[in-house]
Amino acid sequence: MIFKKEVFFLVELISFLLLLYSVAITGGQVEKDEDSPFGIYGAYNIEGNRQYLKSNVTNHLINIGAKWILAAAPELREVGKELSTKDINILARVGRETEESLRKMVSRHKNRIKYWQVLEEEDGHGRYRFRPDLYVKLLQSVYKTVKDEDKEASIVLGALEGNLKAKRKQGPEYLRAILRCGAGKYFDILAFNFEGYAGDYLQLKNTISTYKGILKEYGFTDKPIWITATATHDDDPIAPSFSKRPDPPYQSETSQAAELLKRFVFGLSLGVKKIFWNSMVEHHNFGGISNTYFDHVGLINNRANDGKSYEKLAYYTYKLMVEKLEGSDWDNVQVIQEKGGIHIYKFIKQGSFVWVAWNDNKTMQNIKIPGVGASRSKVTYAIPKVGSGGMVKNYRNAFESKVLEVHQRKLSLDLVSNRPLFIEED
């Protein structure tokens, strides 16, 4: 007679042996989940906190379920080795190397890296800002070199400006300029960055529509779109004196966490394929100046900034978001409502439905969700109901949840202002 413990041991042993076999036949690599949209920008680039490098960051990536990171070329050897046996994909940023060094780099990493981005924000402050023709020459060179070494690789355009409100229009102008120079043949994926403040997520619709429209003007209708860096801050940063801009507004950790979820869900509903949050750990003295915007956008508080290190509320919201939505049909995210400050989206996950809803109004609003097949639904609030992530003691008990009755396939519930939630059929 085989007892339960022995059965469990046999199952674990077989799983371990299968993992070893998988690693062996892939040259030490594990199969990556490229379909996932969840990424982190600059995860291993941590100022003033080198103890986070490698294992600590890797553990956090695994814990929150991130399946993508963006890493610059100088980090690739170290980061690539660290992630070689992890289910985490790498988007590598290149463009400053010689052709020969790039060729060697692609050859060395082609079993683990399939996506290569050519610089970043050249439309705003890059070396090719005023010479789009030279950027296209670089793009062409990188495209040829990478594809010669790995025909399965994809080239990602250097991220354009994403927040197009006010007078910042250099992104669309730059895209048109490089397409006139023939750039469309030399990249597979369009990318843009999209930082800003809470509430700015709504600008994504205009940004994506604008860039899709420009691509269509030049005959390109099937290029995927990635957001390779997005963020908003918490706390009370200052603006650098040279920027001549007002200080960013104060934002709580709750506001940051809510905006994180909204950017991912809204972006996915608009067809964005990958979204990278900037960053895992807060920057320290970004650009040589303390307490500016980018010192406050990470998911983990940087001890070098204020002597404290803890996972912020946005960290826990990111983790819950991945748990609730990973495995969804990303090509079929349905918009249920985008009206009157109420947003409701429906995800199809392995045959079941998951709704995400939030209320941008200042007062509570009642909503009704149709088409709920079960007699009851589980509602989980997306942000822990505490003031700071440092107050979270137990992740599993951090989120308020409740079960509601469904009547005539319709769920009725009250949406609290700026408290996004997940709804699942119970």
**Is 420 found in the same domain as 310?**
no
| Domain final residue, candidates 325, 344, 371 | 325
pLDDT grade for 171, boundaries at 50, 70 and 90? very high
Average pLDDT over residues 11-24: 46
**Is 357 found in the same domain as 305?**
no
Which segment, 75-79, 286-290, 310-314, is predicted with the most confidence on average? 310-314
Domain residues for the domain of 163 are 31-325
Q: How far is CA 277 from CA 255, 260, 263, in A?
A: 15, 8, 10
**Is 267 found in the same domain as 195?**
yes
Chain-wide mean pLDDT for the chain? 91
Q: What is the pLDDT of residues 184-224, one digit of tens each?
A: 999 999 999 999 999 999 999 999 999 999 999 999 999 99
**Is 201 found in the same domain as 154?**
yes
Q: Which residue has the higher pLDDT, 5 or 347?
A: 347
Tokens (6 digits) for 75: 């980090």
Please, what's the b/e burial string for 397-407 (b: 16 or more CB within 10 A of its CB; e: otherwise)?
ebbeeeeeebe
Tokens (6 digits) for 31: 């199969």
pLDDT at 126: 82
- Give me the number of domains the chain comprises: 2
Rounded to whole angstroms, how far apart are CA atoms 2 and 8? 10
pLDDT grade for 243, boundaries at 50, 70 and 90? confident
Note whether residue 2 is domain-resident.
no
pLDDT at 163: 84
pLDDT at 345: 98
pLDDT at 165: 74
Q: What is the pLDDT of residues 359-402, one digit of tens each?
A: 999 999 999 999 999 999 999 999 999 999 999 999 999 999 99
Q: What is the 3-state secondary structure (H, E, C) of the chain?
A: CCCHHHHHHHHHHHHHHHHHHHHHHCCCCCCCCCCCCEEEECCCCCCCCHHHCCHHHHHHHHHHCCCEEEEEHHHHHHHHHHHCCCCCEEEEEECCCCHHHHHHHHHHHCCCCCEEEEEECCCCCCCCCCCHHHHHHHHHHHHHHHHHHCCCCEEEEEEEECCCCCCCCHHHHHHHHHHHCCHHHHCCEEEEEEECCCCHHHHHHHHHHHHHHHHHHCCCCCCCEEEEEEECCCECCECCHHHCCCCCCCECHHHHHHHHHHHHHHHHHCCCCEEEEECCECCCCHHHCCCEHHHCCCCECCHHHHCCCCECHHHHHHHHHHHHHCCECCCCCEEEEEECCEEEEEEEECCEEEEEEEECCCCCEEEEEECCCCCEEEEEECCCCCCCHHHCCCHHHCCCEEEEECECCEEEEEECCCCCEEEEEC
Average pLDDT over residues 11-22: 46
| Residue 94 bridge partners (DSSP) | 118
**Residue 309 is part of a domain; what is its CATH number?**
3.20.20.80
- Identify the weakest region by mean pLDDT among 164-173, 209-218, 323-332: 164-173
pLDDT at 4: 42
Could you tell me which of 93, 71, 67 has the C-alpha nearest to residue 81?
71
Query: Given phi > 0 = left and psi -120 to 50 = alpha, else beta, which region is 409?
Result: left
pLDDT grade for 32, boundaries at 50, 70 and 90? confident
Angle in degrees, CA 277, 90, 101, rounded to 5: 125
| Domain final residue, candidates 276, 305, 325 | 325
Q: How far is CA 3 from CA 13, 17, 67, 286, in A?
A: 15, 21, 37, 58
pLDDT at 5: 45
| Domain final residue, candidates 269, 296, 325 | 325
Q: What are the two backbone dihedrals, phi and then psi, of residue 409, each rounded to the nearest 5 degrees? A: 60, 25
Q: What is the pLDDT of residues 114-124, one digit of tens each?
A: 999 999 999 98
Residue 420's contacts (CB-CB under 8 Å, 6 or more residues apart) are 258, 261, 262, 356, 357, 358, 381, 382, 383
pLDDT at 7: 42
- Identify the weakest region by mean pLDDT among 27-31, 111-115, 234-238, 356-360: 27-31
**Residue 401 is part of a domain; what is its CATH number?**
2.60.40.1180
Tokens (6 digits) for 32: 């990556």
**Is 308 found in the same domain as 395?**
no
CA–centroid distance for 177 within its chain? 28
Q: What is the pLDDT of residues 124-149, one digit of tens each?
A: 888 899 999 999 999 999 999 999 99
Note whether residue 42 is domain-resident.
yes
Task: Give yes or no for residue 67 having a pLDDT over 90.
Answer: yes
pLDDT at 201: 98
pLDDT at 80: 86
Task: Give yes or no for residue 55 having a pLDDT over 90.
Answer: no
pLDDT at 178: 98
Note whether residue 19 is domain-resident.
no
Note whether residue 21 is domain-resident.
no
Rounded to whole angstroms, how far apart are CA atoms 157 and 416? 40
pLDDT at 237: 96
- Identify the weakest region by mean pLDDT among 47-51, 68-72, 134-138: 47-51
Note whether residue 168 is domain-resident.
yes
pLDDT at 54: 64
**Is 119 found in the same domain as 46?**
yes
Rounded to whole angstroms, how far apart are CA atoms 417 and 342? 10
- Amino acid sitting at position 34: E
**Is 417 found in the same domain as 363?**
yes
Rounded to whole angstroms, how far apart are CA atoms 160 and 369? 37
pLDDT at 411: 97
**Is 242 found in the same domain as 299?**
yes
Note whether residue 276 is domain-resident.
yes
**Is 158 found in the same domain as 116?**
yes
Tokens (6 digits) for 255: 């506001």
The pTM of the whole model exceeds 0.75 = yes
**Is 284 found in the same domain as 172?**
yes
Task: Give yes or no for residue 75 having a pLDDT over 90.
Answer: no
pLDDT at 77: 84
Note whether residue 119 is domain-resident.
yes
pLDDT at 262: 98
Note whether residue 7 is domain-resident.
no
Q: Sign (positive/negative) of CA torsion 64, 266, 385, 43?
A: positive
Q: How far is CA 65 from CA 2, 282, 330, in A?
A: 36, 19, 17
pLDDT at 166: 55
**Is 284 found in the same domain as 219?**
yes
**Is 152 found in the same domain as 124?**
yes
